[in-house]
């Protein structure tokens, strides 16, 4: 029975974590195949559903990076750097929507993350503190996706270039309010319109950050540049910009 299940599901990839002697392989959607190697050299295949039971390799990337084998819902990582606040979390790799601190009261399993509007994806968790500019984050990811696009599908081939050029323009202080609308339109023109899911992945960082942090994009347009020129956090930059505005005439 186990051999037939393995054959029908098909193992697509495998990763060995030597420290815990566990081999994980991605099988069909909704399952993980876990091969536990016993001390005596004997092992067996098990199927574990993604209900918050079972294990998953999580990559945590922030100030510290780690790959850790966890039971779904288990706590890990080391918190925020001293003197900094949490800005957002990208829970499942760069192709998954960002989540803000007020959305983070959930377990790291597939169903729980879907309910708050993101995905677990590859479990490449990215934690971002308040020293990071979200336009800069989107711009860096747009560069990656433009570089990696195979170019087969026109929406992805052309769209990733549009996204990068728009984000370059906004981050460098040359953006206009119209550019924010064009950015959203380009994302919509890519998502769901390519042969593979790469197009959706490429459009997610700009669209997600624009949706969650639109005030930061608008700051770049209004102040003609990134807030990191004048402050250590966006909240500090907003208060500084507000204090610099002349009082309205009465």
CA–CA distance from 240 to each of 125, 196, 233, 245 (Å)? Answer: 32, 44, 11, 9
Q: Which has the closest alpha carbon to 68: 20, 104, 119?
A: 20
Domains of the chain, earliest start first: 61-129 (3.10.20.600), 134-230 (1.20.1440.230)
CB within 8 Å of 20: residues ≥ 6 apart = 69
What band does 124 get if pLDDT is binned at 50, 70 and 90?
confident
Percentage of the chain beyond pLDDT 90 is: 44
Task: Please provide the average confidence, as pLDDT, over all residues in the chain.
Answer: 73
User: Can you give the pLDDT at residue 7?
Assistant: 31
The DSSP 8-state label assigned to residue 194 in this structure reads: S
**How many angstroms separate the Cα of 17 from the Cα of each of 3, 24, 32, 35, 248?**
23, 8, 15, 11, 62
Q: What is the tens place of the pLDDT at every residue in 186-202?
A: 999 999 999 999 999 99
Q: 155-191, pLDDT tens digit by residue?
A: 999 999 999 999 999 999 999 999 999 999 999 999 9
Name the pTM for this structure.
Answer: 0.69
Strand residues in 19-94 grouped as ranges (E): 22-26, 31-37, 43-49, 55-61, 65-71, 86-90
**Closest-CA residue to 184 (of 200, 161, 208, 148):** 208
Q: What distance in Å separates the CA atoms of residue 220 and residue 30, rounded to the nearest whole number?
A: 41
pLDDT, tens digit, for every residue of 37-83?
Answer: 233 333 333 333 334 455 555 555 555 555 555 555 555 555 667 78
């Amino acid at each position: 029975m186990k051999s037939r299940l393995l054959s029908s599901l098909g193992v697509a990839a495998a990763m060995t974590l030597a420290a815990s002697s566990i081999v994980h392989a991605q099988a069909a959607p909704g399952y993980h195949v876990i091969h536990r190697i016993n001390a005596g050299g004997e092992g067996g295949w098990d199927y574990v559903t993604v209900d918050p039971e079972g294990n998953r390799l999580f990559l945590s990337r922030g100030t510290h990076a780690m790959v850790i084998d966890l039971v779904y819902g288990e706590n890990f990582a080391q918190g925020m750097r001293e003197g900094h606040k949490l800005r957002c979390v990208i829970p499942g790799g760069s192709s998954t929507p960002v989540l803000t601190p007020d959305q983070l009261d959930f377990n790291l399993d597939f169903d729980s993350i879907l309910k708050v509007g993101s995905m677990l994806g590859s479990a490449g968790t990215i934690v971002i503190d308040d020293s990071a500019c979200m336009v800069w984050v989107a711009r860096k990811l747009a560069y990656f996706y433009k570089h990696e696009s195979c170019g087969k599908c026109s929406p992805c081939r052309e769209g990733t270039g549009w996204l990068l050029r728009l984000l370059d323009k906004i981050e460098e202080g040359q953006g206009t309010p119209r550019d924010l609308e064009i950015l959203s339109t380009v994302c919509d023109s890519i998502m769901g319109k390519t042969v593979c899911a790469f197009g959706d992945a490429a459009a997610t960082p700009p669209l997600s950050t624009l949706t969650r942090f639109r005030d930061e994009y608008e700051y770049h347009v209004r102040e003609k540049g990134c807030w990191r020129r004048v402050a250590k956090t966006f909240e500090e930059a907003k208060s500084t910009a507000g204090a610099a505005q002349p009082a309205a005439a009465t």
